[in-house]
Structure 1
Amino acid sequence: MRWLALVLLLMPLGTAAQERLRVATWTVELTRNGPGLLLRDILKGDDPQIRAAQDHIRVVSPDILLLTGFDTDFDGHGLRAFAQDLDYPAIFTHPGNSGRPTGRDLDKDGRFGEPEDAQSYGEFTGQGGMALLSRLPIAAQEVRDFSEMLWRDLPEAALPEGYFDDDDLEILRLSSHAHWDVPVMWNGAPLHLFSYTATSPVFDGEEDRNGRRNADETRFWLHYLDGGLPLSSPEGDFVILGDSNLDPYDGDGRREVMHALLSDPRIQDPQPRAQRGPVANPGHLGDPALDTADWDDPQPGNLRVDYVLPSSGLEVLDAGVAWVDAANEKNTFRHGLVWVDLARLP
């Protein structure tokens, strides 16, 4: 388990108090088929998808933004280049588990070294990873990175019985991408950003290995809050944010786990709503205004999979889901940007 990860471009910020804080997450899907290709496209400056993403971020203007589905590299060059013209003095990233080789045949097809055999699906390490942009200073020495935690070490891990052998379990990590606890300093006190991206609960067989792992990646935060891990959750305010790939009402996956997180009394669900966005799918039970992903119909359709969940001690001022204009010819974004405005209670 690695506590510290790479913190980049950490610069002094102004000392003026900031009472209102906009915290957001966006599955931006800025990913390419090889290492360094996203950085190349960012540096060219004319990629319509990248420019549209940057424009959307400027419009919504979150103070803290977790990007998921963003190709990362070991030195953070891609994130630094992406943030160059955005107003974020502090950025944080670290290559996660997607595409990280294991040397094992994890999909049991008799072939080694395929994307399916990595810690989680990926053609190279860091493909579709996570990146954090912040206008607040990051407490770099207090960052906790749980991405190396083995899946079997999670209490009551829902491992698929008989599918993985002992050698697989010696190296298979829980995080398909990453689990981070990143503290930022907000008016002199830390706000902990519990950040993660979970695997999709599909693309497997009857053993349901992806569905089980997806559920455990969300259950991780309940164990962290309960003190059930070697490192207990720190005291104080926090926000759970990221892409759980799990809707509490519709789609595949163990939806009861998402219900358990959303109903935990230590957590608030602001239920960010879109003024416009995906329409209801036939047979879906969830409110379509809460959906954050617009996938092909009829399956899986539109789902709520991206979340910003503040701790109960914070005041929620406003919340929403901001979609890139569907009429925009540059719109290749299947997820909306989820934002929540917060204040600290007196």
Structure 2
Amino acid sequence: MVLPSDKPVHARPRHGADRRHDRGEAPSRGWLGLSGGLIAAALAGPAASETLRIATWTPDLTRKGPGLLLRDIEDGKDAQIAAAIAVIAETDPDILLLTGFDWDYDGAALRAFAYRLAYPYRFAARPNSGMASGLDLDGDGKTGGVGDAQGFGRFSGEGGLALLSRYPIEAGVAQDFSGFLWRDLPGNLIEGAGLSPEAMAVQRLSSTAHWDLPLRVGGQSLHLLAWAATPPVFDGPEDRNGRRNHDEAAFWLRYLDGDLPMTPPEGSFVLLGDANLDPVDGEGRPDALRALLAHLRLQDPRPASVGAAMAPQTGRNAQHGGEAALDTADWDDARIGNMRVDYVLPSRDLTVLDAGTFWPAPEAPMAHTAATASRHALVWVDISLP
């Protein structure tokens, strides 16, 4: 087995700090703190640098009811939240998309979380998860259930998207495509998904959200194309979730190819988020995802980690055909196995300097912290803008 290198890919420091750009364990930081206070090294904001670190992560910061995540953040005693803060501090992204982070109307939970990491800019919009449709979308003869929401959720905003950034977010020109109807996607797979005509007329494509967020970086705009898709399971023979998962990825194909009534970015961009799908292994319909990975406007840095490469190749893992080092989620279930489901895909005009997944080796100092934080691993890519 060939493990990802733990040698620095480039020695130029970021933000004035000496770093190891290690593909299994993120660069070591001596100022790491778990108390929930401000991390002083980030207070100065972004400095002139050839490297910009962009990351996506599903930290599983979702709770069983509205307001509970804010309660746990402010309480300061939640071990998972402390671990999530430690992982972010250790990997130190300049721009971080969080998937699986509860949204609230006032943005209070995100504001409290960002404060503990000293990110000056943040963005969140109401997701489709938990948004009542008023119809019987799942066809069980009842309305008002979790299956009748525009996206699965026990309350509005459960498991939404959130962005933390050291660079200004051009929110005034951001595009939120979460209201886009599934039936309006060219080549969609909604037919056969078991939806009634009434449901098809209102069913949104995004189970959580699709965003195009421009950031102001170095005097130019860098677009973030962000999304989180539904798992392609937990349904019946109609494969409603599998079809929707496929089309949530296919949305970006149509967007980049100019097949939608929206204007795609002309300059630099990064497509990132939780596709909830592996291009090789597991259930689902991977054609659209594979097409994204091979798209002429995108590049796949193939972020890897030592921890994923060292994961036991037993149970379902032993049956997988994908490269283990590229996995980003440890489902802790022998029937499912580890998979690559989280992606950071820069546009081809961007120079990729390094990439990795924060999945430490089992005996590494941060291994327990990373496992406590989430079953997903944080995926990061270092780029330089043209």
Q: Indicate the TM-score class for this superposition, using the shorter chain for normalisation.
A: over 0.9
Q: SS of the residue aligned with 1:116? A: helix
Question: Is the Cα–Cα contact under 8 Å of residues 86 and 369 in structure 2 kept in the other structure?
Answer: no
**Aligned residues, how many?**
334
Question: Is the Cα–Cα contact under 8 Å of residues 279 and 302 in structure 1 kept in the other structure?
Answer: no
Q: Within 5 Å, which residues of 2 pair with 1:206-221?
A: 206-221=237-252
- Letter aligned with residue 17 of structure 1: A
Please tell me whether residue 313 in structure 1 is matched to residue 349 in structure 2: yes
Which consecutive segments of 4 or more residues in structure 1 shift more than 4 A? Answer: 12-16
Task: Name whichever of 104-113 and 135-144 sits farther off.
Answer: 104-113
Please tell me whether residue 47 in structure 1 is matched to residue 83 in structure 2: no
RMSD: 1.7
| 2-structure distance, mates of 1:225, 1:55 | 35
Show the counterpart of 1:226: 257
Question: Is the Cα–Cα contact under 8 Å of residues 160 and 207 in structure 1 kept in the other structure?
Answer: no
Q: Percent identity?
A: 56
Please tell me whether residue 323 in structure 1 is matched to residue 359 in structure 2: yes
- Which has the larger strand fraction? 1
Shift of 1:16: 5.0
| 2-structure distance, mates of 1:241, 1:38 | 24
Show the counterpart of 1:107: 138
| 2-structure distance, mates of 1:131, 1:163 | 31
Show the counterpart of 1:283: 319
Q: SS of the residue aligned with 2:246? A: helix
Please tell me whether residue 268 in structure 1 is matched to residue 321 in structure 2: no
Question: Is the Cα–Cα contact under 8 Å of residues 13 and 135 in structure 1 kept in the other structure?
Answer: no
Show the counterpart of 1:139: 170
Q: SS of the residue aligned with 1:294? A: coil
Q: Deviations over 1:210-260 (max 9, x none)?
A: 000000000111111111111120210000000001100000111122111
| TM-score (structure 1 length as normaliser) | 0.93
Please tell me whether residue 202 in structure 1 is matched to residue 233 in structure 2: yes
| TM-score (structure 2 length as normaliser) | 0.83
Q: Deviations over 1:149-179 (max 9, x none)?
A: 1111111111132721221122110000000
Q: Within 5 Å, which residues of 2 pair with 1:118-267?
A: 118-161=149-192, 163-267=194-298
The correspondence for 2:89, drawn from 58, 61, 68, is 58
Q: SS of the residue aligned with 2:109? A: helix
Q: SS of the residue aligned with 1:22? A: strand
Q: Deviations over 1:268-318 (max 9, x none)?
A: 000000121344411100011100010133222100000000000000000
| 2-structure distance, mates of 1:251, 1:320 | 22
Unmatched tracts of structure 2, length 5 or more: 1-42, 361-365
Shift of 1:183: 0.6
| 1-structure distance, mates of 2:342, 2:148 | 26
| 2-structure distance, mates of 1:344, 1:326 | 32
Show the counterpart of 1:342: 383
Bigger-Rg structure (1/2)? 2
Unmatched tracts of structure 1, length 5 or more: 1-11
